Amino acid sequence: MAKRVRIVSSISHLRRKSRRKSPRKIPRGVIYVQAGFNNTIVTVTDVRGQVVSWASAGTCGFKSAKRRGTPFAGQTTAGNAIYNVGMQRAEVRIKGPGLGRDGALRAIRRSGIRFRFIRDVTPMPHNGCRPPKKRRV
């Protein structure tokens, strides 16, 4: 019994080469900075909200929580997130009480991206949840 020979068309062979996406260049976008006490996360999106690039202090090489919350870690994180995006104008939305927010904003300002506005979107409770009962020892 003869073996079946599978014919591979040349079109499907060409499609397989471009699996990895090339970085998108966007003229306008939104930069989200989420700065907690233990980490800083910077996300760059286009106007529709689709993520173009992101970075966190952990992915930038800062391993301990004590180092990830520093302004230098925020600065490095923002630099890595906006590197090679090609953005000219951006809206910046900052969330959280951490120290990395100042460093991230400084790095974005130094990169040459012009701000449309800087908005603080930290959630503030309006006398929110009931606190836990007092601890009795």
Dump pLDDT digits (tens) for 111-135.
Answer: 999 999 999 999 998 998 999 999 9
The CATH architecture assigned to 28-120 reads 2-Layer Sandwich (3.30)
CB-hemisphere CA count at 13 Å for 56? Answer: 11
Task: Enumerate the domain spans of the chain.
Answer: 28-120
Band of residue 10 on the pLDDT scale cut at 50, 70, 90: low
**Which secondary-structure segment (H or E) carries 16?**
helix 10-17
> Other C-beta atoms within 10 Å of 30: how many?
19
Buried b (16+ CB within 10 A) or exposed e, 100-114: bbebbbebbeeeebe
- Is residue 18 scored above 70 in pLDDT? no
pLDDT digits (tens, 9 = 90+) for 32-44: 999 999 999 999 9
